[in-house]
Structures are given as C-alpha cells and as structure tokens.
Structure 1
Amino acid sequence: MAPQPRIRGRQAHTPGSTYLAYTPNGKKLITVGVDNFCRIFSTGSDDEPVTVDDCQENNTAIASTNGFFVAGSEDGTVSQYSLENNKLEKILVRTSLPVRDVALSPDGNWVAVASDELVVKVVNTEDMTQVQYLRDQNRGVKHVSFDKTGSHLAVSCTDGNIYMYSLSSEDPNMIRKVEGMIMSIDSDAEATSKVLWHPDGRAFATPTVSRDVQVMSFSDWERQKAFRTDHSADITAAAWSPNGAILATTSSDLNLYLWDTKSQKLLTKFDDMKATVLAMAWHPTENILSYTNNDGELFIHSDIVPSEHASLLSQAVQPAPFFHDPSEGRSGNATKPLTNGTKQTLPERRARRDGTPDSLDDILGPDAISDDEMDDFVEDDDGAGYAPAVNSHGKRTNGHLGALHSPSSKRRVHGSSSFAPEIHEAFQPGSTPWRGNRRYLCLNLVGFVWTVSQEQSHHTVTVEFYDREFHRDFHFTDPWLYDKACLNENGTLFSSQPKGDTPAIVYYRPHETWTTRTDWRTELPKGESVTAIALSESYIVVTTSANYVRIYTLFGLPFRIYRQKSSPAVTCAAWRDYVLTVGNGPVGGDGMCQLQYTIENVKRDEVYQSEDTVALTPKSTLSSVFFSDDGDPYIYDSTGVLLTLLHWRTSAQARWVPMLDTTLLSRLSTGQKQETYWPVAVANRKFHCIILKGQDKHPYFPRPILSEFDFQLPLSGPKPPAKDPDAMHEDEDEAQDPQTDQLRLEHTLLLSSTLHTQLSSTLSSTRPSSAQRLALQQFDSAVDKTLLQLIAAECLAGEDRGMKALEMAGLLHDSDGMMLERAGKIAQRYGRDLLRDKIGELAERRLAEREEEEE
C-alpha cells in the first residue's frame, strides 16, 4: 500500500506536548500546549486563530462543548473558558497533583478530572460545589472517558486496570474492574491507555500492552474482536470516526493508520509523521482528522480517508466489531434493545426530565435527590474544600476559603450549626507524594531514599549517598511497603502503615556494624498507624495515630512513651538528645487549628518548651521542620519563609525569627522567573533547598540538584546579599550606591546580632568547641564593625544625623572602650565635633559603670 503524501502542519504552540478538541458542532477546534495560551481555530478558515491569553502553563488535557471548553494543567488547575467571549470564566476545581485528563459529559453538565491523585473528581460545570468522588483506584489516573449517555465513566488507572463507574445514583458505584486489558504506565508517559467508547454505545476499545486495540462488550464484559496493528512502539492516540466505521491509531513509531471497523483491515497508512502524535479528533461531519504532536504542531488533515473508502463516513452509526452481538443474547438471555443505537441504562432516562438536556437526572438517575436536598448531598469528602459550608440561614460561612484539610475531616452543610475546625495534615519532612509509581521517602544532605511501587505486592527501595567513599548505596525489595524514611550518617529508619492483619512496622538499619546483625524491626499495637518518624545520633522518634510519642534507642530498646498533648500529631524532628514534636492545638481566628510544638531533652528528661505555638500566618501551613547542623530548630512554611527558634532552651522565652523570605530573593526581582523552593536543610548557616520551576510543588526524578542561599532577613524588597562580615573594614565609608549600602549594613547588623544570640544560647548549654568560640567572637566583632560603618555613613550624611549616630554608638559592645574610641575618631574625621564630644561622654559613663561593678 503506497504511503499518503505528507501534509503541512501549523505551529500552534511552543514546542512541547500539545492537545486538541473539536466542539460537538465541528465549527471550532481548540488547542492547548506548554505555553500559557489557548488557540481557537475556525473550521474551513485560513484566518489566524483566536488566542486566549489568560491560561495556565503546561496544559495536559482539553474537552469542549459548543459554548465553552475546559482545560487541565500540570499545576492541578482545571479551568473553564467561554467560546462566546474567548475568556476565562472560572476555575472549576484544583488538584494537589498534576491533571492528566479531563472529560465532559455529553450534556456538558459534568467534567471528570483525572490526576496523579488517587481520587477522580466529577464536578458540575454550573455549580462547582457539586462534586462526586471516585475512590476505588490505588494509583494515579491517566485517562477518564464518559459513555454516550453520560451515566458511566471509564477510569484508566496507571496500575493497568480500568475502573468502570456508574454515575446514575447519588453515590457513584464502581460496577467493574477490568484487569489485563490496558498496560501499566507512568501518568506522564506519552503512551495512551484511554477507553474509546464506540459510537453505538455498546462497546469500548483500548490500546493493549501488545500494541493492539482490543474491543470489549459493555453488556457482558467479554473481549470481542481486536485490531492487530503493525505499530512497533506504544500507541499514543486513537479515535473512532463519528459513526464508528473507521478507527485511527498512531504511535511513537511515527506511523498513523486508518482501519475498517467491520473487517479490522488496514485502509491506509501515513508513515512520515514529523513527531509523536499525542491527540487525535475527527471532525463531527466532514472527512477531516486533526491531530497534535509533542512539538507544538497542529495538523488539520482534510480528505484523510481515501476516496475509495470515503463512503464509510457517510453511513449511519455502524455496529461495534463483535464476535457475537450481545443484543441477540446467549443461552436464552437476551439483552435489552437499543434506542437509536444507544443503551438506555435507566427507564427512558426518566424522560430526560421533560426533555431538558441539562437535567441532573442525566447523571444522578431516578433515585437522585431533589434540588432542595442537593446541599445535603454535597460533602467535602476528601477535605479539598470545594463544598462550601452553609449556616442555618443558608449563607456561606468563611469555611469555603482554601485551607489545608485532613482527609478525615468533613464539613457539615445545610441545617447543621456545628463548627468543624480545620486541622493540619500529618506529614513526613523530606518526603514527596507519589508521582507515577515512585516517590522520595527522604532527601537531605546525607543522601536520599526513594521507592518504586511494584503493583500491590511489594516496593523496591533504594538508598543513595552523596559521599560514596564513606557509605555504599544499597537496594532491597520491600514487602512491607514502607512509606516513611529518615537518613543520617549512622543509619536509615523506615516505617510502614498497618494493612489488614499486618500492624505498622518500624525498621532501623545501621550503615556500619561490628557484629553479625544489628538491624531491627518492631511492630506497633494493632490499629495504631505512624504519622511521622525522626532519627538523631542517639534516638529514634515515632509519633502515631494514638497520639503516642514512642522513643527508642538506636538498637531498638524502648526508652520512653507518652501521649502528646496537642493532637492530632503532625510531625517531628530530632537532633542528638533533643526531640521536637508538632501537633494541632486550639482553633485560631482563621478557623484552622494552631500548631503547637514541644522540645525536650530525652536523655535528661527535661522539657524546654511545652505546647508553645508555631508562628504561622493566617491560612499558611507548615511545609517542613528540622534541626540545623548546629542543633537549632527551623521551620519552613507554605509562604516560602524560613524561620528559626531563638532562646528555645529557656522556658517561655522562645520566639520565631525569619531568616529568609524566598519571595524576596533578588533572583525573583525581575518577575521573569517562576520558581519555588523545596526545603532540605540548614547547614553552615545557609539554606539548602531544591529549586522547583514553574508549577512544580515537589522534586521528581532524575535526582534534582541542591542549591543554597545565604540568610536574608526580610527588611525590605529584593536586594544584594550581605557581604561577609569578616571582609568588612571600618574605612569602607563610601559606597557606589549609598542607599543600597545602607540597607546592606542594616541587614548585616541584624543578621550578625541574631546569629550571635543563637550561638551564645547554644554555648551556654553545651561544651563549646574552639571553632564555636571563634565563631562567637567573629559575630561579636561583625556587630561592632557594622555599627562603626553605619556611624560613618551617618556622619557623611550631615550634621543633622548626629543623634542617630550617637544611638548607634550606644549599641557597641565595647568591653574595653576601644570601640567607642574608634567611633569618636570617625566623628572627628568627618568634622562632627559635637558628636565626638557626646561619644566621649558616653565612654566616660561606661567606664564609671564598669568601675562601680568591679568595686
């Protein structure tokens, strides 16, 4: 068969993954891609397409009606756009992980959202508070597809199974799990596993692992005929013609085939595709097949079906390719007849509620609740906040504001006056959620631990180190399905959750040993799950769902157990003998539980801070908590601020001090970069993190590169980082930019003072090393040197700034009078005689005070 001539494509978007959808009437074709705009093409017109600018980046899916279209993106946003004014109408729903596919019901009233989350959300396009949740998947979802009636939804999961749901009742019901038909693939793979409903409504087809397209009967779930394709790589897109007479398939082998549905024979082939096609759509009425590829191109292929076969498109809806027609029945059991080629799963679909195509009965069925009862039906089942709380007067409360919810917390609606506080979810510092079949369990400055899901039977865990000369990487099969890990120089700690009759497990594996076997494993009481774990040089800490804090020695000896006061538990951290635990406390003014922390010395059995408040701004959440390499507590919150805890060894004196606001970094001052920062550690008085580009929320594979930033207290907007205090000299009294230099000196002064306070507190409670003593002297000296530079700047500014300069002189530590003497010389150098005299009087008073103290 001779290949067809190649057609010319249009550069619709920036090179990258691009997707498309026709409106049902075929008048418009919409495309989305990796850039932040959508394109609307008019069928039969060579005019430039209409561009919709207010879109998200990295779009992954699109679906359309005649009046609007819906697009999903990797940042978890599903947006609805009007085709009348070509503008963004609203954001329908958000997911915490990337969206992979969207599908609209035939009447356009519901959109199904597939994402890397375990839950598929079906959202009403008119009232986004009406949400149905499909929960039977145990992995992320690759595709979703409505049948012709809109009463069934096929969910293609990355675990290699199809989950078929009925949406004809109040609660969605999974009616079938189809195994062994689609392949298990990563959610971001180019290959497809989408369910293709045949237009006659009685069957569906899917690509298989053998690169065929298998047809299955929807009535008896039996496999029917298959299209034995010649593709040499995984199928990336497929589509039935509007009447089901032709099937189009394409693959990453850059071939596109058209097949006769009745005979499963090849009609024609196109074997010189430029790039991998990711999406295909037939025009609803014309001989046109349009497709987009992974290079940002759109192809509108007119007369794609050769003239000798074009009559196939003009026929009525063709039957699905069955070995046997289920409508004829088997063993005397005939199935119900079709109405206009469409299966009526409900008695006449309740007459479509007087014929209105946008009736809720199309989705909810004959037993659906009434409109008045709808408020009672909508529950925020997954805690995502899409169903607004309603008070006894039918008004929305402030509970609809987007805050972090616990999966177990449900908001009461309509008719209930009870208040449900919003609790902070438990998390493990340094871990990431599942993305595809892998995730990081731990990532820090020592190395990283990651796991790969091998279906439900086991995982494979890998531990890698940055310093491979000191430690060797290792890899093992994990039948316990560990979901948390900690890593330090001494060993690796794991924990798993209870499953069935198997209790939660804590497992510790040291890196070095001088005996035969020193790793150990212990089980928690039945029904008790692990919320967070921590590992120090001396102890292992486990917080649990029973609000117990369980502390073990490194070799498995239970050392302490007590119940945490603030609950539910959120997270924990450890360093040497110190343990920090965080839990939910009293409800704050924003409706969220305030987080409370406790710090104790386990060895001495001393509590330094008991149930003190974690300082977060309203509606912000805690992202990470850890100790620095010097043993100081740090937190990082969702607003991008790194804070440390000063005076934490003194009861009731602790305070949270911001050390870095990443939103004020100079690299973001131009507004051209869109990036966030994933916290890793604080070491050598620097913030170590992973830079996340665009809409990414967590690092992914391949292993990301660590970056570091100096501390920068939020005194003003983005500015250059402070100079090294040791490199400063008192004669640096002139600057290229006086205002910038003034800000730099003020920042250096406050930062040096804060670090001095932090280190002096540590040295007062521990045995200081020579390096620590030297560092404390350097911070002390940096404070005085910076004050002298600021005094010089004030003297240079004019005589009227003398009072501020005298105030600065009063802040000098000046244990021996040398610093005040230098301050007087600076004033004399700039001719500020009155200031010099005032500084001299201050020096005399201080000398007299020292003499009185000595007496």
Structure 2
Amino acid sequence: MAARLRGRPAHPPGPTFFSYTPNGRKLVTVGGNGAFRVFEHLSADEPAIIDVSTEDHLAVAARNDFFVVGSEDGSVTKYSLATNSLDEVLVRCSLPIRDVDISPDGQWCAVASDELEVKVVNTSDMQKVMYLRDQLRPVKNVSFDHSGALLAVSCTDGVVYVYSLSSEESQLVKRVDGLISLMESESEASAKVAWHPDGRAFGAPNALNDFQTVARSDWLSQKGFSGHKSKITASSWSPNGALLATASADKSLIVWETKTQKILKQYDDVRDVILTMQWHPTDNVLSYTNNNGELFMREDFVPDEHRGLLKIELQPSPLNKDPLGEISGNAGRPVADGPKGRPRTEDAYLDDLLGPDAMSEDEAGFIEDDDGAGYAEAPNLNGKRSARTMDGPLPKRPARHNSSIWQPQVHVPFQPGSTPWKGNRRYLCLNLTGFVWTVDQETHNTVTVEFYDRYQHRDFHFTDPYKYDKACLNDKGTLFACESSSQHPAILYYRPHETWTARTDWRTPLPAGEEVTSMSLSDSCIVATTTAGYVRIYSLFGVPLKMYRQKSTPAVTCASWRDYVMTIGNGPIGGDGITRLLYTIENVKRGETCQSEDILALPPGAGLKSVFFSDKGDPCIYDSEGVLLICLHWRTPGQASWVPLLDTKTLERLASGKKDETYWPVAVANDKFHCIILKGGEESPYFPRPLLSDFDFRIPVADNSAADEDEDADTVQQKSLEEQFVRSALRHGLVADLVEHTSATSAQKAEVPALEREVDKVLLQLLANECREGEERGMKALEIATLMRDRSGQMLAAAGKIASRFQRDILGEKITQLAERRLVGLVDDDEV
C-alpha cells in the first residue's frame, strides 16, 4: 500500500518546525508568523490556533501538557496545552534561539542560541538555570538522551559536546570531534544528535552526507548510513530503533533498516526541504515540516513488506561487533595502535606472509628436536603444522643457522611534535602556538587546529579527505603533508592564518613515488625532506626556492627558524652497529652553510626524540635519555658544540623515586624548557589536551639530583654557583654569537655587556666562597679572578675589596697586579 500524504498548510512560506507530544495525540507547529497551531493526530478538524506577539519562531519542543518555543528575538516561552495560553517566559537570550529540547521527565529545557553558552532551565522554576560554557562558537542543536542524564550539544565549530546533568553541577563528559561538519547557524543542514532508543549510541549527519552513529561506551564511530547526495537536514529513529528516516537538502527522503543499514524505501515526492521530522509513537506515520510553511503526515509510511519491523521489540543500536545486534555486515576497525604511525619491521612482514595464526619464533621453538627424530616439525607456508601421517615420522624441521646476515641499525624518520596513533586519533603537532590533531573516520579524517592565544587566532576544523599525517604550526600559518594513495600523490598543503587576497591556501604535489619524511615551517620558508633524499624548500606562498639532495641519507628529520634550516640524516656506522646522525645547518636565503654534516652529539645507545629552534633562534635537541641540549657557536663553521641545558633525570621532583614520569619536549622559550609530563609509563601525550609544564635550565655540572645529607650548606651553595657560572657563560656566548654574525638590534647589542656583568657577579660570589675557606685556597681564588670578562677594571676592583675584607693580603696584591696589567693590555684574553 502506498503511503498516503496528508499535507496541511500550517504557516506562511518559510522555515516551519513541529514537535509531537510524547503520547502522540497532538503536535505543535511554529513558523514565521505570530501564531502557533496545535493539530490533533490524523484529525481532519482545524487545528487550535494560539496567537502570540512574537514572530520568526525557530524551535519547538512539546510534552503532554505543555510546549516550549524559541524565537529569533531570543525569548523562550512556555505554553499550556490544556488552555492553549502562555504560561511564562522561561528565559531570554541576547541572540536568536536555534533549538530547544525538553528532558524526558519534563523538568528541564535546554536552549541553544547564537550565544556561546547553552542554558538549561528548570520548567517549573525559571530561577534554576545551568550554564554550559565549554563551547567556542554558537550552538546549532541540543538533544537530551532518553534518560535525561546526558545532553548532546552540537556546535557550529563541528564538535559535539556531551554534558552530564545528573548532578547539580553540569560536567563536560566528552568532546566528539569529526562527527558533524562546520556550518553556519542559519544553515538548513542539521547537526542534531539523534539518540537511539536503546540508549547505547547516538547518530548525527556528518560532513560526507552520511548519518554516522557513535557508541556511548567509548565515543568511537560505529555503523554509518550512506546514501544521500547532499546535506542531511532531518533524521529520526523509529520508536523501537529498528528503522531510521533521514531527509536531505536535495529533497530526498529515505527509510533505512537499522540492523543492516540498507535502504528500504526512497521517496521522491518531497516538494520542499524537510527541516524537522518525527515518527509517531505508536502508528505507522512519519510527520515532517518543511521550509515552505507546510506540515505533512505520511500514513502507512513503512511499506507493507517491512511493516513488521515496527512491531518488534526494542532493537539494539547499530554497533560494530555488538553481540546484541549479531551484525556482520561491516568490518571492524583496525586494532588501536596498529600499522598506522609505525615503521614496518621484519616480524610484521613475516606475520603478513604466514597469516594471523602463525606462531611466534619463541612459541614455535618451545619443542627442541635435539636428536633429529622429528619431534618438532616446521610450519608450512601458512604458518601451521601439518597433521602427522600414519606411515612415517613428521618431516624434519629445516636446520637454522646460528649466524645471520648483519645489517646496521638505521634511525627511522620522524616528525617533531607528532604523536603515534592511539585508537582513532593522534596529535600532528604540539608547540607553544597551539596544537593540531586528527581523528580517523575510516573513509576520511577530521583535523582540528586550536590555539593558546584565541585573541590573535581563531580555532578551525575541517574534513580531511587526504588523511594528512604530518603538520607544523606557527603564528603565520599551518602546514600539512599526506602520503600518496591510488587517488593522489604525496601533497604539501599550506594554510595561512591571515591574508589580504582571495586565495588563502595552496597545495603542491610531489612527484610519483616520493613521500614526505619530515617537514618544518618558519616565518619565511617551508622545508620538506623526502624519501628520494631531496630537501625541498618553498616560500610561504608556494614558490620553490631551493632543492638539493641531502648528503646524509636516509633523512631523519628537520627544523627551521627564519632563513635557517637544519636537516638531520643517517651517517656512517659506529662501533655499536648504529648509524651516526649527521646534521647540517644553512641559511637558505644567503646560501651559506654554517655546519656541514657534523655529528649530532648523542650518547651511545640513545636516540633523538625531538629537534627544534629556541625562541632566540638556537638549535636544540632532546634525546631519549631525557637530556636537553643547545648548539653553541653554530654560526661558525666547524666550531659548533652541543651543551646540555637540562638533564630531566636530575630534577628534584624525581629525587624521592616515588614519581614515575617522563617528559615530552615542546619548546625552549623564555629561558625555560617547556614540556608535557607523561606519567604511568606513557610514551606520548593523549586526550584530553594535556597541560604544558616548564622547568628552569640547570646544566649538570655536578650531581644535584639528591644532595648528600652530610653536605653542608656551603658545599651546596658552591655547586649552585658553579652551575650558574657555566649557564650564564653559555647565555653570554649564544648572544655574543648572534650579535657578531647577524644584523643585531640595539637591544640585542646591549644584552651582551649585561650578560658579561652577570657572569662576573657569579664569579665574585665564587671568589668570596674561596676567600672564606682560608689562605690555602688563594690560587683558586686568583684563577677565578682571571675569568672575569670586564675590561674596565670595576669587577677586579670589587674582587680586591673582597680579598681585603677576608684579610687575604697576598691575594689582594695579585688581583691588583692583574687589574693593572689588563688596563695596559698585557694580559691576553686566553691567559688563565
């Protein structure tokens, strides 16, 4: 039997919305005029009309005895269905209302507006209001689950915020990213979450015009309903969850079977775009309103051959590998932390060859065939043992050689600031500007870029069909790279934050077969190392500036700062069988090489965790031993040296041995090491977004991790002063190099003598300590005096006064002689 269409003009042409009462006896429509209409279900009588003073009503939600309406003027009003009159104004907002929803018990009304906060108002006492303020952009839709304990808030930034309302204080439970798409508040496209009747999952339209379900247990994507060619504008589960109805902007209406995600019927007689849609609680009727002021009630909506699906008991949500659903139509997702983000190993390739049932080498060899009698057999090509035959022993296992072909260990490439996959998400970039993270949606990814300074930059979110696996972020823009696939080659994609032209971003493909191994972004250039051994350098507007083949290959990683580029690759093999890492630093604008194929200073057995430039433009590395190092004199060819700034294993917080934590390097800025603390054996940060921590530099001059209880205060102070001297001398050397080799500013030039004074002040304190110890320490005290940088004689004069104060007359005479010789230029700078 064909579905009978009962069209009713409800309001003037324009967006029209409706809501059934839970018992299905009435439905309320609102639209652009100053009247509401209350229809009796399937009644031919004229609806009751409620005249109101407001117009442009954009949302309605009904209970059995009242309904709530949201208007463009920001008011949310409550009306009685018993008297068809106004009860009260529940709440007012300063901007238009976009959606309202009432909890199943009728006690709370959630209000979405163009304001950033969501108000949840008590329908019996308007003074009781909960404010949900985690959203960064206006909210499009709100939806209570069937228990009323959870509220799903669909935001225009493409994020679904799930709140728990089970207590007096609301709590954000989850941010579901990558489910809905970015949209404007006025868009006809829907972002409303539809909770499945069994409560274990919900669904919503996604950016690919599909209706995607998400499990409530782990918030991961589950089954999807794919068939629409344009944006979905409305959706509704049947009361028992066995069917799903969806409508799209191309005026198509589809009814699906939930269990198999198959299309049961597609209706092509829809004349206008459907905006709201609901199943009747008991009858085979689907009602909807459109953007032309009309209400439709489709009787006998589900065809006769499928009508039995409406009469069965409550059906389970369409979840992957759900024993309740007994669904095998869709394959499960890849195992978390699977092949993505990991280098392929020899064992992995053997697993692919032998199959999933193959035993490991240790398991296969637990029976030893010592006498060759065939107690153990060799696995066949499928990784399984053949059955024993009746007429003879098992075939002998092939002999294994104890020796194998030796191969060097090569450092694998990595992208600084990027984390491996955990589940279906990972960070592509973490630094002081912000962070970039991606969510795997199987057919595509969704990428979110968030900034710490939201006054300077706005967060953004987009659907990623290329599945970018690398990213860089700074104050100028965001750089992405993806691997090649059957549809496209490897691609570099740059998106600036600000532009004064229409074109805001650019993409450049790499030649076929060439992949990006690492990349970096500075204020003036883009650098990418590739599997072909090339270093490709572009301007921020996509102009190729330079291209050359890297000497040390395979490439490992790279970093850049302004016009300086640092590349790192595998070099010669060391005595331990591991390749040495070599680095090169060059100025690509001037074509000058500062350091060429120099060895990166790593201890034996250690690896490189990250590489970056400090905020002042000095190269820094962080190794797997937890040591942060900075490069000194790197602008002078052949003079570079790596100086440790901090050994994180010597931090006081680890001295007790009770804390099990490591540190994920982020940046060196403001004379501090910025990092993320990882606890409980974690190897990389994960969600929710971790907090940044910072530690002061402390060069490991002496063992300060745990001071000996027998050490007196003077010894502890001496160690501290010695570390301060080395650290202040390092700072002076870095700034002096900067001033000498660049067009330094007046502030940078003034910083050099200021740092010299800091070095000398520390030396004066060390000198005082030596004088305090006695005359026998006089030679060391004089040595300390010779280390002073000041050439004016002021600091040496102060040193002489210190010697006189402690009555070290001989030391004072020698310091005076040293000062006189310096004034006449008789003391060489290198004299000790």
Q: TM-score, normalised by structure 1?
A: 0.52
2:458 is the counterpart of 1:438: no
Following superposition, the deviation at residue 773 of structure 1 comes to: 2.9
1:373 alignment partner, one of 392, 398, 416:
398
Kindly name which structure, 1 or 2, has the bigger radius of gyration based on alpha carbons. 2
What does residue 748 of structure 2 align with?
A: 772
1:654 and 1:187 map into 2 onto residues whose CA distance is 54
Query: 1:683-702 deviations in whole A, cap 9, x for unaligned?
Result: 11211100001100000011
Counterpart code for 1:435:
K
Over 3 Å counting, the alpha-carbon distance change for 1:451 and 1:796 in structure 2 is: same
Counterpart code for 1:425:
V
2:538 and 2:221 map into 1 onto residues whose CA distance is 47
2:545 and 2:748 map into 1 onto residues whose CA distance is 31
2:819 is the counterpart of 1:833: no
What does residue 783 of structure 1 align with?
A: 759
2:389 is the counterpart of 1:364: no
Query: 1:188-215 deviations in whole A, cap 9, x for unaligned?
Result: 889999xxxxxxxxxxxxxxx99xxx9x
What does residue 719 of structure 2 align with?
A: 743
| Correspondence 1:457-606 to 2 at 5 A | 457-606=443-592
1:757 alignment partner, one of 733, 738, 741:
733
Query: 1:570-627 deviations in whole A, cap 9, x for unaligned?
Result: 1111110011111101001111111111111011111111111111111111110011
What does residue 843 of structure 1 align with?
A: 819
What does residue 123 of structure 2 align with?
A: none
Over 3 Å counting, the alpha-carbon distance change for 1:828 and 1:230 in structure 2 is: farther
Counterpart code for 2:455:
E
1:667 alignment partner, one of 653, 665, 668:
653
2:632 alignment partner, one of 639, 646, 658:
646
CA RMSD of aligned residues (A): 4.0
SS of the residue aligned with 1:483?
strand
Following superposition, the deviation at residue 436 of structure 1 comes to: 0.6
What does residue 708 of structure 1 align with?
A: 694
2:768 and 2:828 map into 1 onto residues whose CA distance is 31
Over 3 Å counting, the alpha-carbon distance change for 1:431 and 1:540 in structure 2 is: same
Query: 1:638-694 deviations in whole A, cap 9, x for unaligned?
Result: 110111111111111111111111011111111111100000011112111000011
1:690 and 1:714 map into 2 onto residues whose CA distance is 21
What does residue 819 of structure 1 align with?
A: 795
Over 3 Å counting, the alpha-carbon distance change for 1:591 and 1:371 in structure 2 is: farther
Over 3 Å counting, the alpha-carbon distance change for 1:781 and 1:234 in structure 2 is: farther
Counterpart code for 1:757:
G
Q: Are the equivalent residues in 1 in contact too, given 2:655–2:706 (CA < 8 A)?
A: no
Q: Are the equivalent residues in 2 in contact too, given 1:186–1:436 (CA < 8 A)?
A: no
Following superposition, the deviation at residue 818 of structure 1 comes to: 1.3
What does residue 793 of structure 1 align with?
A: 769
SS of the residue aligned with 2:825?
helix
Following superposition, the deviation at residue 353 of structure 1 comes to: 13
What does residue 426 of structure 1 align with?
A: 413
Following superposition, the deviation at residue 432 of structure 1 comes to: 0.4
| Correspondence 1:74-85 to 2 at 5 A | none
| Correspondence 1:143-182 to 2 at 5 A | none
Following superposition, the deviation at residue 359 of structure 1 comes to: 7.3
Following superposition, the deviation at residue 465 of structure 1 comes to: 0.6
2:788 and 2:215 map into 1 onto residues whose CA distance is 65
| Correspondence 1:42-121 to 2 at 5 A | none
Q: Are the equivalent residues in 2 in contact too, given 1:791–1:823 (CA < 8 A)?
A: yes
SS of the residue aligned with 2:468?
coil
Counterpart code for 1:710:
D
Counterpart code for 2:812:
R
2:396 and 2:428 map into 1 onto residues whose CA distance is 45
1:761 and 1:720 map into 2 onto residues whose CA distance is 35
Q: Are the equivalent residues in 2 in contact too, given 1:439–1:450 (CA < 8 A)?
A: yes
Following superposition, the deviation at residue 819 of structure 1 comes to: 1.2
| Correspondence 1:210-225 to 2 at 5 A | none
Over 3 Å counting, the alpha-carbon distance change for 1:827 and 1:719 in structure 2 is: farther
Deviates more, 1:761-770 or 1:792-801: 761-770
What does residue 155 of structure 1 align with?
A: none
**Aligned positions, number:** 485
2:314 and 2:410 map into 1 onto residues whose CA distance is 54
Q: Are the equivalent residues in 2 in contact too, given 1:192–1:237 (CA < 8 A)?
A: no
2:828 and 2:688 map into 1 onto residues whose CA distance is 66
Counterpart code for 2:428:
L
2:436 alignment partner, one of 443, 449, 459:
449
1:437 and 1:663 map into 2 onto residues whose CA distance is 32
1:480 and 1:532 map into 2 onto residues whose CA distance is 17
Counterpart code for 2:557:
T
Counterpart code for 1:777:
P
What does residue 282 of structure 2 align with?
A: none
1:606 and 1:711 map into 2 onto residues whose CA distance is 31
Following superposition, the deviation at residue 429 of structure 1 comes to: 0.4
Following superposition, the deviation at residue 521 of structure 1 comes to: 0.5
Query: 1:43-79 deviations in whole A, cap 9, x for unaligned?
Result: xxxxxxxxxxxxxxxxxxxxxxxxxxxxxxxxxxxxx
Query: 1:356-384 deviations in whole A, cap 9, x for unaligned?
Result: 99977696222999775374xxxxxxxxx
Following superposition, the deviation at residue 841 of structure 1 comes to: 2.1
Q: Are the equivalent residues in 2 in contact too, given 1:432–1:699 (CA < 8 A)?
A: yes
Counterpart code for 1:479:
P
Following superposition, the deviation at residue 762 of structure 1 comes to: 0.9
Following superposition, the deviation at residue 234 of structure 1 comes to: 11
Query: 1:697-740 deviations in whole A, cap 9, x for unaligned?
Result: 0000111000111111112233599xxxxxxxxxxxxx981111
1:229 and 1:370 map into 2 onto residues whose CA distance is 58
The alignment-based identity, stated in percent, is: 55
Over 3 Å counting, the alpha-carbon distance change for 1:419 and 1:800 in structure 2 is: same
Over 3 Å counting, the alpha-carbon distance change for 1:190 and 1:529 in structure 2 is: closer
Q: Are the equivalent residues in 1 in contact too, given 2:529–2:558 (CA < 8 A)?
A: yes
SS of the residue aligned with 2:545?
strand
Following superposition, the deviation at residue 461 of structure 1 comes to: 0.5
Q: Are the equivalent residues in 2 in contact too, given 1:450–1:463 (CA < 8 A)?
A: yes
Please list every run of 5 or more consecutive structure 2 residues that lacks an aligned counterpart in the other structure.
1-212, 224-240, 243-258, 260-311, 326-366, 389-393
Over 3 Å counting, the alpha-carbon distance change for 1:372 and 1:353 in structure 2 is: closer
Counterpart code for 1:584:
N
Q: Are the equivalent residues in 1 in contact too, given 2:791–2:823 (CA < 8 A)?
A: no
1:184 and 1:374 map into 2 onto residues whose CA distance is 52
Following superposition, the deviation at residue 237 of structure 1 comes to: 12
Q: Are the equivalent residues in 2 in contact too, given 1:806–1:839 (CA < 8 A)?
A: yes
Query: 1:16-36 deviations in whole A, cap 9, x for unaligned?
Result: xxxxxxxxxxxxxxxxxxxxx
1:569 and 1:188 map into 2 onto residues whose CA distance is 38
1:483 and 1:643 map into 2 onto residues whose CA distance is 28
Q: Are the equivalent residues in 1 in contact too, given 2:435–2:450 (CA < 8 A)?
A: yes
Over 3 Å counting, the alpha-carbon distance change for 1:191 and 1:365 in structure 2 is: farther
